[in-house]
Chain A
């Protein structure tokens, strides 16, 4: 059972453009929604996270938009750079400390 659905599977964006990755979840008990970034040969690393009491969180060029009623959240990368080229995973968990359920990932390529 896939509890976190992620799209698109891959994304190509011009340098300076906006990258948008979408996720939807099923379990309404989830209350912690992180995004992880993974480079080849490395483990995933936390990029930004949100809890459902806010609709948006911004950290530098990265923004999470959260729609609780639709059970959807998205990652926006503004002014995308070639160094942002990586695989991005949305995720969700109950209580933060519980097991984290990951989406299937989006491979982002930012071209000069």
Chain B
């Protein structure tokens, strides 16, 4: 158990609908990352937060994507007007308490856009 919980684990939606994923880490004070992983590929960086501040966003994060981390605790990733190309696993990760650089990943939220 990495201490990073993601919900829902699987979401099936129709093209054009909005979806929201949630990440609940144990610790509130470390950095929180969102990655996207498509089949047969490595995780691709989307964005990360230090407390409630969003410090960096990837060019992959189009204007249909928005992420928040209110009060530096849980985080949400919303995708508006979903497209079939959004189908992927969305992974949340946290850094640990020590400065080791290690990322602790949740089990991911798999999105299928029909």
Chain A-chain B contacts (Cβ-Cβ < 8 Å), number: 59
Of all A-B residue pairs in the complex, the 8 with the closest CB atoms, nearest first, are A96-B101, A43-B105, A102-B42, A99-B45, A32-B101, A46-B102, A89-B42, A102-B43
Q: Which of B70-78, B80-88, B92-100 contacts A (4 or more CB under 8 A)?
A: B92-100
Q: A86-105 toward B: CB 8 Å interface, digit per residue (1/0)?
A: 00010101011101111111
Question: Roughly how many angstroms separate A98 CA and B84 CA in the complex, as a whole number?
Answer: 30
If A45-B2, A96-B101, A99-B45 touch, whether A105 touches B107 (CB-CB below 8 Å) is no
Contact of A96 among B4, B40, B99 (CB under 8 A): B99
B25 interface hit (Cβ, 8 Å): no
Between-chain CB contacts (< 8 Å), 25 pairs:
A32-B101, A34-B101, A41-B107, A43-B107, A44-B91, A44-B103, A46-B102, A46-B103, A49-B100, A89-B42, A89-B43, A93-B101, A95-B101, A96-B99, A96-B100, A97-B95, A97-B99, A99-B56, A100-B45, A100-B101, A100-B103, A102-B42, A102-B43, A105-B40, A105-B42
Interface residues of B in 58-78 (CB under 8 A from A): none
Question: Roughly how many angstroms separate A96 CA and B105 CA in the complex, as a whole number?
Answer: 16
Contact between A34 and B102, CB atoms less than 8 A apart: yes
Known pairs A43-B91, A100-B103 / 7 extra A-B pairs, C-beta < 8 Å: A43-B2, A49-B101, A49-B102, A89-B43, A93-B101, A97-B101, A103-B42
Question: Roughly how many angstroms separate A60 CA and B99 CA in the complex, as a whole number?
Answer: 23
A61 interface hit (Cβ, 8 Å): no
Residue of B with least CB distance to A104: B42
Contact between B106 and A43, CB atoms less than 8 A apart: yes
- With a cutoff of 8 Å between Cβ atoms, the chain B residues found around residue A100 in the complex are 33, 45, 101, 103
Question: Roughly how many angstroms separate A32 CA and B56 CA in the complex, as a whole number?
Answer: 19
Interface centre among A43, A45, A49, A96 (most CB of B within 10 A): A43
